[in-house]
Amino acid sequence: MLSKTMEKALNEQINAEFYSSYMYLSMSTWFDSAGLPGAGKWMQAQTQEELFHGMKLLGYLNERGGRVTLKAIKQPPVDWDSTLHVFQEVLTHEQKVTELINKLVTMALAEKDHASNIFLQWFVSEQVEEEANVSAVLNKLKLIGKDTTALFTLDETLGQRVFTPPPAAGK
């Protein structure tokens, strides 16, 4: 059984993951309207991934006998200055999510909630991957600068991303 403190914190993380999904969906539509459908598709995959994360947390909370309490999702931004700006915002956001996950792990350790600690390790690894993927795109965008031909080539590459849910093992 989860402590009420851990239950509350996991509910907050569910909301944070659903907000992330919503924010990436907003970014996807911004890219589509900017004529960069590949980046839009990249963000759609990111949207699905964050929704998956929220559902994974929701399932865990239910499995441990906790009570899921869904809260309103705040409105995400709708406009950005550039492709570079969008991906800078993504990196900043993913770093914030990493902090949230780390706080959950710290809480699980403090409460000697070994099951939650083990469960959360998947998210710790996932955040390393998230930050690395976004950093790679950001590095390319910085190299590209104002070269629109290179931006369109990168857009084609970004459009190849597809979300594939991880195997069910480790829920």
Q: What is the Cα–Cα distance from 75 to 60, expressed in whole angstroms?
A: 26
Domain boundaries, the chain: 4-158
Q: Which CATH architecture has domain 4-158?
A: Up-down Bundle (1.20)
Q: What is the pTM of this model?
A: 0.94
Q: Quick: pLDDT tens for 6-24.
A: 999 999 999 999 999 999 9
Residue that is written with structure tokens 């849910």 in the block: 165
Res. 33 pLDDT band, cuts 50 70 90:
very high
Question: How confident is the model over 84-88, as a mean pLDDT?
Answer: 98
- The whole-number pLDDT of residue 15 equals 98
- The whole-number pLDDT of residue 168 equals 65
Does the structure show a pLDDT above 80 at 35?
yes
